[in-house]
């Protein structure tokens, strides 16, 4: 490619990158990019390179051409276009690779953080929910979700320094009652849980009875630990 030929011929002529850059009225980094095939000179600079290094343009490009100047410039333009297209494709591929790596890195960083937020949230927040309804259940998923929300509010108010981890309603194990749900919860106590009868730093289970009031709202009417 152009960069390899330019580097070889420059060294053969005894020029440093800095010296060649001064003669062409460009910065040294420009010559370095040409030699690394990160960019290419335009047709005018290529002609000045040819004159400064005293070599035909065709030798810089690695091709063969004895055509007249107009034909030679056309061939140069076409070859430069191909080189630019190859560089653009290479750059697009590099950007895609870096984008994918950035996304993967972000996922690797964010997933543990999100997991910690979801599974170590403030006391009283239900982290996981399981609902099993029978075929003739008098309740809908929306009913059970509303009852779960009532449990979360109750738990947050009544149980301090505790983390609610799981809520479960299963009609296969506990038949549905009229205007009342039996919900099983699992929670983790902290160092100083309240009520005081709760053991510190333990995973415990409790059963809650959640009743529906006349205005259609749910409220916890009974709970006991196991």
pLDDT tens, position by position, 165-204? 999 999 988 888 888 999 999 999 999 888 888 889 999 9
| 120 assigned to some structural domain | no
* Nearest alpha-carbon partner for 128 in 140, 116, 118, 117: 118
Alpha carbon distance 190, 163 (integer Å):
8
Alpha carbon distance 132, 49 (integer Å):
79
138-160 residue pLDDT tens: 999 999 999 999 999 998 888 88
CATH number at residue 49: 1.10.260.40
Contact residues for 186 (Cβ-Cβ < 8 A; gap 6+): 164, 165, 166, 168, 203, 204, 205
Same domain? 145 vs 218? yes
Same domain? 134 vs 82? no
| 103 assigned to some structural domain | no
Alpha carbon distance 161, 166 (integer Å):
16
Chain-centroid distance of CA 9 in Å reads 46
For residue 12, give its domain range: 2-93
| 108 assigned to some structural domain | no
CATH number at residue 195: 3.10.450
Looking at residue 214, its pLDDT comes to: 86
Among candidate residues 68, 93, 118, the one where a domain is terminated: 93
| 116 assigned to some structural domain | no
Same domain? 42 vs 86? yes
In this prediction the pTM is 0.44
163-172 residue pLDDT tens: 999 999 999 8
| 112 assigned to some structural domain | no
- SS3 label, residue 53: helix
| 161 assigned to some structural domain | yes
Same domain? 146 vs 195? yes
Phi, psi angles (nearest 5°) of residue 185: -130, 150
Same domain? 78 vs 154? no
Alpha carbon distance 169, 48 (integer Å):
82
Higher pLDDT, 108 or 51: 51
Q: Give the pLDDT band of residue 85 (cuts 50, 70, 90).
A: confident
Total of domains in the chain = 2
DSSP code of residue 199? P
| 119 assigned to some structural domain | no
Among the ranges given (15-29, 43-57, 72-86, 153-167), the one the predictor scored with the smallest mean pLDDT: 72-86
Same domain? 134 vs 76? no
- SS3 label, residue 33: helix
Same domain? 79 vs 138? no
Same domain? 82 vs 26? yes
Q: What percentage of the chain has pLDDT greater than the value 70?
A: 88
Query: Which residue's structure tokens are 């409790």?
Result: 206
Angle (CA) 97 101 107, round 5°: 150
| 187 assigned to some structural domain | yes
Same domain? 62 vs 151? no
């Amino acid at each position: 490619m152009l960069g390899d030929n330019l580097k070889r011929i420059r060294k053969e002529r005894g020029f440093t990158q800095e010296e060649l850059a001064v003669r062409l009225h460009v910065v040294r980094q420009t010559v370095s990019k040409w030699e690394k095939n990160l960019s290419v000179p335009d047709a005018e600079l290529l002609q000045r390179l040819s004159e400064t290094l005293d070599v035909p343009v065709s030798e810089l490009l690695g091709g063969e051409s004895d055509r007249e100047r107009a034909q030679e410039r056309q061939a140069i333009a076409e070859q430069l276009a191909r080189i630019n297209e190859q560089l653009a494709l290479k750059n697009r591929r590099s950007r895609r690779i870096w984008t994918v790596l950035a996304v993967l890195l972000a996922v690797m960083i964010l997933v543990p953080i999100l997991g910690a937020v979801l599974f170590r949230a403030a006391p009283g927040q239900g982290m996981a929910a399981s609902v099993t309804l029978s075929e003739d259940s008098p309740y809908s998923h929306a009913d059970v979700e509303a009852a779960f929300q009532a449990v979360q509010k109750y738990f947050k108010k009544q149980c301090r320094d505790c983390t609610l981890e799981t809520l479960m309603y299963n009609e296969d194990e506990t038949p549905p009652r009229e205007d009342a749900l039996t919900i099983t919860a699992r929670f983790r106590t902290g160092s100083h849980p309240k009520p005081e009868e709760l053991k510190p730093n333990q995973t415990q289970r409790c059963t809650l009875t959640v009743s529906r009031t006349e205005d259609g709202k749910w409220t916890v009417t009974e709970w006991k630990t196991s």
